[in-house]
A and B are shown apart, each in its own frame.
Chain A
Amino acid sequence: MTETQLGEPAFGAAGTVSRRTVLKAGIGGGLGAALPLDVLAGNKTLDGSVLDTWAAWLDTLVPGAAKAGARDYLRAQLLLPPSERVLFLRYTDWPGSHADFYRDALAAVDQLSLDRHGRAFVRLKAAEQLGVASEVAGGQAPGWQGPPAGLFHFVSKADGADLVFGTERGIERLGLAYRAHIAPTLPWPVMG
């Protein structure tokens, strides 16, 4: 597996803006703008089209996940050192690269979509997306070539649940008081 190629347009000169400032500002504002920092951080992340697939995938599993920041979340986490990431994959003790895990799984989602419907996942109708997701959730999708399908489904859905139901906004949306002892400064950690 190779290092992901970053396919988004570069954003200014990295030297003109501090890393901390850019990454903090990136939350909610589109971390796609922080491309040079991927290189600075030395961590793999995913390119824009893969992140689009991710957002659509997560929104299929947990509606509202895209609006809650799915795209920014995954990108921000992959920029962090592994010990600082909070992706649900962390709980599985996955031995390989996290970026490769998500990229390979999303590629498999796209391939499954092509096989079933002739289009990439983001181009499918909602019902078709749900059908593909159900196949992956079953863990036995024929032709699947990626990390274990059931594992990918489990961790990515849990990522979606984090974003939609696990933040202050998400918990309050369920009608519950958040009751923080120490309130998080951001919904999730970012580099800074």
Chain B
Amino acid sequence: MKTLEAVDVVVIGAGQAGSVMAARLAAAGKRVTVFEAGPARTLQDMTSSQIWARRLKGTPDLLESTGAHPLGITFNTGQGSGGAAAHHYACWFRLHPEDFNMQSRYGVAADWPIGYDDLRTSYDAVQAEVGIAGDAEMERWRPPGAAYPLPPIPRFRQGEILARGFEALGMQVAPLPLAIATQPFKGRASCVYDGWCDAGCPTGALANPQTTYLKWAVEAGAVVHHQHRVQRIVTDQPGRRAIGVIVRNGRGERLFQPAALVVVAGFALETPRLLLASATDRHPQGLANASGTVGRYLHTHAAGGVFGMFDEDTDCQLGVSGGQLVCQDRYAKAAAPGKDFIGGYQWLAAHSVKPNDLLGIACSRPDLIGEAFNRFMEDAANRFASMTAVGESLPLAENRVELVPGAAVDEMPKMRVIHRFDDNAVRLHRHAMEEGRAIMKAAGAKAAWHGPLVSMHLLGGTRMGKDPASSVTDGYGRCHDLANLFIAGPGLFPSGGAVNPTFTASALAHRSAAHIVSAWGQLT
């Protein structure tokens, strides 16, 4: 096996968290090599089509997603430049302070080893670099932090209509905070609100990694290799330090890349897969898995869509995929009279919708077929509205990613993912859907209906914690078992709150990179 020239840092994965790490470490003068298993994609590959967009999504080496409530892996993942963030909706929220202490406050999930105050400056720093559009004052639920650098997204007709419904029920809405340029920002063009976010935004308005951190990583000197699958992390003889990785390139050659420090940023499935596949005599359960929790506590947000048909035009094709409005009036955690579940949810409202695809108009009515379906589509094309409840679900140890035996010696084992929602999430979803229909009706919908309980975002699998016996990494993402092996991404989350995770994953990576730079001598 050929050995490549040693580098300071190997980053595995060119998605959001890996790109943040690569950019920050390269900017600090480290020699950084990024290995990405998927193909190179530029903004020119972001075809405006919900059909073509599916090529951005998926995890090819997933063998099976199973369990009582199988996770939607393809929709929530992606490989290639930008990873899943290449098709994310840029809904960038901060976790709330109480999200970090679910065990000590409410006796569920696990506490984070850090609190909101530890992450606040990183949220602010990432926000300033990327540019987030919003109205901090209108978000009465927002944790403390710097004001948004960009003005909020304009409100289109669908947003005006749904705001009516929330306000009629005494609920507050605010402009949805988005990592989308609402005016020119650092050379990026302003959004034109045509709703192609899901297909990858080629205009540069949406802060996908190709537009931000991955681009900045390359500009700072990081070298990115696509179609390079890291198959194993290699440790020293005592098993205390990572010394590099074995990677298979696009020609099928296996190479050894030595590195002083390794960052695994493969997202919630590929990261535990790689750790488990890197088992050694010293780490027989898999690397960094003395706790036995690698791959476990995989969780998601318990989500559901609510839909409405109106007599008036809604211009529902305008805006951005993530939505125009947010309401976090239901973020409170404790169960209470009329609230038979622990944890909260938020509403993302007034999505820009296309006629087709998973979140499009057509899939809201799977029951209609034939001419009745076509009439519905014609009626709904410009009189439809939708919103989504993003709900907290409690991480369960039994929810996991595991290796499937049987791979060839020089191949990585494929993955199986097992997941179920607990009853708490089922009750949360039911409650939210009832409320959502009431909001739609209050907004004037002539018909309101909702979709099933679905999975949204992937979290956990390599959770951080203070106790090495029950977690994989510390609060910086450094593995308890290996001094120079770091993990980045939402796989670190011990619990996920009820907000979209990309901003938090980015802030965590930003904080970790700063720590690595400042503690380089001790870590390496």
In the complex where A93-B70, A176-B382 touch, is A161 in contact with B370 (Cβ < 8 A)? no
Contact A182 B48 (CB under 8 A): yes
Residues of B within 8 A of A180 (CB): 48-49, 194, 196
The CA of A183 and the CA of B202, in the complex, are separated in Å by: 11
Within 8 A of B (CB), among A134-154: 134, 137, 153-154
Contact B48 A61 (CB under 8 A): no
The CA of A178 and the CA of B52, in the complex, are separated in Å by: 14
The CA of A147 and the CA of B382, in the complex, are separated in Å by: 35
A83 in contact (CB, < 8 A): yes
Contact B52 A188 (CB under 8 A): yes
Contact A171 B196 (CB under 8 A): no
Residue of A nearest to B75 (CB): A91
Residue of A nearest to B315 (CB): A176
B: contact size bracket: 35 or more
Question: 1/0 per residue B480-523: CB within 8 Å of A?
Answer: 00000000000000000000000000000000000000000000
B65 in contact (CB, < 8 A): yes
A42 in contact (CB, < 8 A): no
B47 in contact (CB, < 8 A): yes
Tally A residues with Cβ within 8 Å of B.
45
The CA of A157 and the CA of B364, in the complex, are separated in Å by: 12
B203 in contact (CB, < 8 A): yes
The CA of A60 and the CA of B371, in the complex, are separated in Å by: 9
Contact A133 B72 (CB under 8 A): no
Most buried by A among B52, B73, B355: B355
In the complex where A62-B374, A158-B363 touch, is A90 in contact with B355 (Cβ < 8 A)? no
Within 8 A of B (CB), among A172-192: 174-176, 178-185, 187-189
The CA of A183 and the CA of B194, in the complex, are separated in Å by: 13
The CA of A179 and the CA of B195, in the complex, are separated in Å by: 9
Residues of B within 8 A of A184 (CB): 47-49, 51-52
B369 in contact (CB, < 8 A): yes
Within 8 A of B (CB), among A49-100: 60-64, 82-86, 90-93, 95
Contact B48 A174 (CB under 8 A): no
The CA of A183 and the CA of B381, in the complex, are separated in Å by: 20
Contact B369 A137 (CB under 8 A): yes
B63 in contact (CB, < 8 A): yes
Whole-angstrom distance from the CB of A134 to the nearest CB of chain B?
Answer: 7
B284 in contact (CB, < 8 A): no
B127 in contact (CB, < 8 A): no
The CA of A189 and the CA of B194, in the complex, are separated in Å by: 22
The listed residue (A85, A161, A179) touching B362 by CB distance below 8 A is A161
Interface 9-mer from A16-24, A27-35, A101-109, A162-170 = A162-170
Contact B46 A182 (CB under 8 A): yes
The CA of A95 and the CA of B371, in the complex, are separated in Å by: 32
What are 7 A-B interface contacts by the 8 Å CB criterion? A90-B57, A91-B54, A133-B370, A166-B49, A175-B381, A180-B194, A188-B51
Interface residues of B (CB under 8 A from A): 44, 46-52, 54-55, 57-58, 60, 62-65, 70, 72-75, 192, 194-196, 201-203, 317, 354-358, 360-363, 366-367, 369-371, 373-374, 377-378, 381-382
- What are the nearest 3 A-B pairs in CB distance? A166-B356, A161-B362, A180-B48
| Further 6 A-B residue pairs, CB within 8 A, beyond A61-B373, A91-B358 | A61-B369, A133-B370, A158-B358, A165-B362, A166-B356, A179-B195
